[in-house]
Amino acid sequence: MKVENPPEENLTRWMDFVLLDFADAPRLQWFLFILFLVIYIIILLGNGTIFLLTKVDPNLQTPMYIFLGNFSFLETCYVSATLPRMLANLWTQRRTISLVACAAQMCCVLILGATECFLLAVMAYDRYMAICNPLHYPLVMTYKFCVQLVAGSWVSGIPVQIGQTYQIFSLPFCSSNRINHFFCDIPPILSLACGDILVNQMMVYIVAVLFVMVPFLLILVSYGKIISTILKLPSATGRAKAFSTCSSHLVVVVLFFGSGIITYLRPKTKDSGGTDKVLSLFYTILTPLFNPLIYSLRNKDVIMALRKLLCK
């Protein structure tokens, strides 16, 4: 997609942007502020509680809960990269954000998003080993190996996402500085850029395939083998228990990857800004919100650990 550059005398290089978020609904500003504030508090309390339980309860020191604790901490970081600024914008009605702050926010969201993709794939691998290779599970999923998997998930996306953010913000932004979104995401930022953005668009697709589609396919392969193994179990009780341990993770995978894949890999149109905004709510806010509910309501170990903590 090649955009003709404006004449040099009319060229304006913006040094700040305006996040429109929900400016098209002025009567709902206070309602939205209270709604998202309550959601943010629930996310912090819910994910913070799961993270705390996995650290203090001896029964939750297994690989599955090591990954779950890290995932809850990640969700807290992920939502904190976007929601506080959106709340500030709704409170003050000042929606400007500097170019540097916008780039920093995008970089954080991309790095944390890549980490979530890898961590969900690691959690699927953990379930695969536990169900399909139970005898080798203690030998393979040692504490050291779990820490290495978690560390790899956190750091793998950092250099690529920093490079992608630098590449995007090296473009001239001269057509407008109004971002039709509630945070600095790639699609709305690229729509404001001048000049030839074909290379940038290709990089977005390549990175999305590497950091979204590849982990998603690994998860599908893991669950294909898991389901095949479960169906071969002779006991109906055993099948139900095995499905129960995987269903929570599958719900989170569908929510996060489904909205992320549609947002970054579907063809863009002039009217896709509103759709991207709605889809972004799923992977930036709803997944962190539902994560504690999904894992705590369906997990007896977490409920028992919470009861012990409350009793103390």
Tell me whether residue 71 is in a domain.
Answer: yes
Tell me what pLDDT residue 298 has: 63
* 110-138 pLDDT per residue, tens: 999 999 999 999 999 998 998 889 899 99
Residue 289 lies in a domain: yes
pLDDT digits (tens, 9 = 90+) for 19-30: 887 777 778 889
Chain position carrying tokens 């890898």: 118
| Confidence (pTM) | 0.88
Average pLDDT (13-39) is 84
Structural domain including 303 reads 15-311
Is 6 part of any domain?
A: no
CATH of the domain at 259: 1.20.1070.10
Please tell me the predicted confidence (pLDDT) of residue 271.
59
In the structure, what pLDDT confidence band is assigned to residue 8 with cuts at 50, 70 and 90? Answer: very low
Q: What is the pLDDT of residue 36?
A: 93
Residue 223 lies in a domain: yes
Query: Residue 46 domain-assigned?
Result: yes
Structural domain count, the chain: 1
- The answer as to whether 228 is a domain residue is yes
- Please report the beta strands in 1-75, taking only residues with DSSP state E, as ranges in sequence order: 16-19
